[in-house]
């Protein structure tokens, strides 16, 4: 039985998930440019930093965006049901 291992990919990689962010008051608005169909979607966006983590659950056919308070430095994670985990440092 073959085991599939999904590797973490960098959000900056070409042909992978791309992420845009915009500062709004004391939060950062994150938009991930990715399909959100029933068959292919981002399951969640999470931020892991020096002061803890926050997670936003996403749903098929919904928007692929979230607002987080980004303090210090850390990583933004996205999980695609087809491609696995992707991340980007902030």
The pLDDT confidence band at residue 2, using thresholds 50, 70 and 90, is: very low
Give the pLDDT confidence of 48-62 residue by residue, as tens digits: 999 899 999 999 999
The percentage of residues in the chain with a pLDDT greater than 90, rounded to a whole number, is 60
Rounded to whole angstroms, the Cα distance separating 68 from 66 reads 7
Higher pLDDT, 84 or 2: 84
DSSP 2-57: ----PPPEETTSTTS-EEEEEEETTEEEEEEE----SSS-EEEEEEEETTEEEEEE
Is pLDDT at 32 greater than 60 in this prediction? Answer: yes
Both tokens assigned to 43: 């399951």
pLDDT tops 80 at residue 12: no
pLDDT at 6 over 70: no
- Mean predicted confidence (pLDDT) in 1-12: 50
Q: How many CB atoms lie within 10 A of CB 38?
A: 9
Question: In this predicted structure, what is the pLDDT of residue 18?
Answer: 63
CA 52 to chain centre: 16
């Amino acid at each position: 039985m073959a085991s599939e291992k999904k590797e973490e990919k960098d959000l900056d990689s070409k042909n992978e998930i791309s992420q845009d962010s915009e500062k709004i008051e004391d939060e950062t608005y994150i938009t991930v440019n990715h399909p959100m169909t029933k068959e292919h979607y981002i399951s969640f966006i999470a931020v892991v930093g020096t002061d803890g983590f926050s997670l936003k659950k996403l749903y098929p056919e919904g928007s692929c965006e979230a607002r987080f308070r980004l303090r210090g430095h850390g990583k933004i994670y996205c999980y695609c049901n087809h491609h696995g985990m992707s991340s980007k440092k902030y």
